[in-house]
Chains A and B, each alone.
Chain A
Amino acid sequence: MSRPLRWCVLGVGVAGVGLVMVLAFLRMPAFGSSYHPYRDAAVPAAVAHGTANVVGSVTFDQRGIDTLGEEAIFFGSVLAVSVLLRPADDEEVRSEEGSLAPLQSTRLFGYLLLPLTLLVGLDIVAHGHVTPGGGFQGGIMLATALHLVYVAGRYRSLEQLRPMPLFDSGEAAGVAAFAALGFAGMAAAGSFLANFLPKGTFGQLFSAGTVPLFNVAVGLAVGSGGIVMLGKFFEQVFTVSQDEGRHGESTAS
């Protein structure tokens, strides 16, 4: 394709997208106005199922199938990172070389924040159906919390605290639990991902039917997946190096 033709194609594309966006924005309700058709439909549906966090109700009850898709995307991403970042043929895994100990103040902060972050993460997963947050937010926070060990200490201490096979299975178990809950809804209430459990009292810890269970499943999957994914990056930086001799060969050939 010649250069002028490319510019033409690009111009048509940009003009088309621009036109469609302008048309869409012109018909959108004004910013901050009280016209919210989706809210008017979603909030009563969430209240009817005893779910105080409407966002949680939309994610796991009203639009559960979308969340299952997102779960699959996250699972696929972690899988792809694991495959791409595995030690290649011309690389060797060595034990970590001595890294510098962090500043005393950094250590203090790390060790103080570690239990706090773990607790907040667990709280956000456990109360995802009552207060803002949920499995994804809490899970990612838990995965981040573990890496404070690296900030405060050394890579080796992180390695010791991180049984990788456990997190590998944790991620798979979380995704499987999500799908299993979906099928349980099908068996109990006749439709996939149906909220089949008793809804409890609005705003209480035991309420919202299946939503808290979905939060736990997603928290497990995302927390473990986050640790596995970051773990692959850390492994590449600290323990994988190119095998000098074979590397030379491969560039020569």
Chain B
Amino acid sequence: MEFKRRTVLGSMAAGAAILSAPAVLGQTRPRVVVIGGGSGGATAARYIARDSQGAIDVTLVEPSRVYYTCYFSNLYLGGFWELDDMGHSYGTLAARHGINVVHDWAVGVDRDAQTVTLAGGDTLPYDRLVISPGIDFREDSVPGWSVAAQNRMPHAYKAGSQSELLKAQVENMREGGTYCMVAPPNPYRCPPGPYERISMVAHVLSQRNPTAKILIVDPKENFSKQGLFEDGWARHYPGMIERVGPDFGGDIVSVDPEAMTVSIDGVVEDVDVCNVIPGQKAGRIAELAGITDDSGWAPAVPANMKSRMDDNVYILGDASAQGDMPKSGFSANSQAKVAANSIRHELTDARLFPARYANTCWSLIGTDDGVKVGASYEATDEKIASVEGFISQVGEDAELRQQTYEESIGWYNGIVADMFT
């Protein structure tokens, strides 16, 4: 067994030496570098390290020592979940699975030399690179808004301090004030996320500040689980929520963070809290690595989540353009397992299995009122294609909705165990 691995390693190292700088010569184990410790990256690192049982040297590059999941950050906003329960550290990945966890920023990728450069100055050679950086915001998405304004007008679309800030702003909003959300254009992270957030803000305001108003400025005609959300809003928060879609100028919006105003097709509104969720693109390191295209996302090979630009690089999760899967933590986790199997097959003698993808997204509309949407997916030559889906129905009884909510908590505990234990 050990001999066989060396044989594989030897031939692979020789191949790399011909094609590029001899980065792997002299090392004892093939090296995988994973950039990004979220649902895609942490899962990939864990599955590669765990299942290769030490045969692959895995380094995980993640700037944060504590990772806050974006999923359930809306529940934190609504008072249903604690910030501490959203935070996860990487100690077990290092101690139990032998992963080198490096808390630093990846600032460059040299795909010819097969190296990653860190902000701290280190250079990490790799045989296979996994890039799972999540999203960044398009600066030009909402005129008047920039990342520099995120303390006045938080996005709260990367969890942690932004979530805390938005929660404090909502809870301390003046009586009868207006919370405004500028919703993002497609495609973006977590399709039901903005509307679950609206539900959670409405839940808080209906208890603390019942004369307050919620204004959604939305460039999209339709949105995920729309019927379920609108039904739930009418039941739980009647008269509180107004949505301005593109038919009334929701796609012609700008903001003034200093004046705390929102301009909708030229009509200026005063608001008290303004939650701007800008248009999105792949996390910057994907762009720096040169694996994104004109869309701003990084195209992936459906069968294994390799970058279409480089056979030695994999792209996971929100940053990838793969077809029909929504940008969600569940999707990233699912994609990571396919990539991990492909990487182990290429670097060791592990069997290769066909790709399988799945996603389910749960959302909370009000207390014990949970809904879900999901699908299974298959790899075609062209894209990851949806095979069959399901969605909660309007009119389900309260017990089923409560069960769906409890199921979402079960899922949360399941996926974070699948990433971090």
Chains A and B bind each other: no
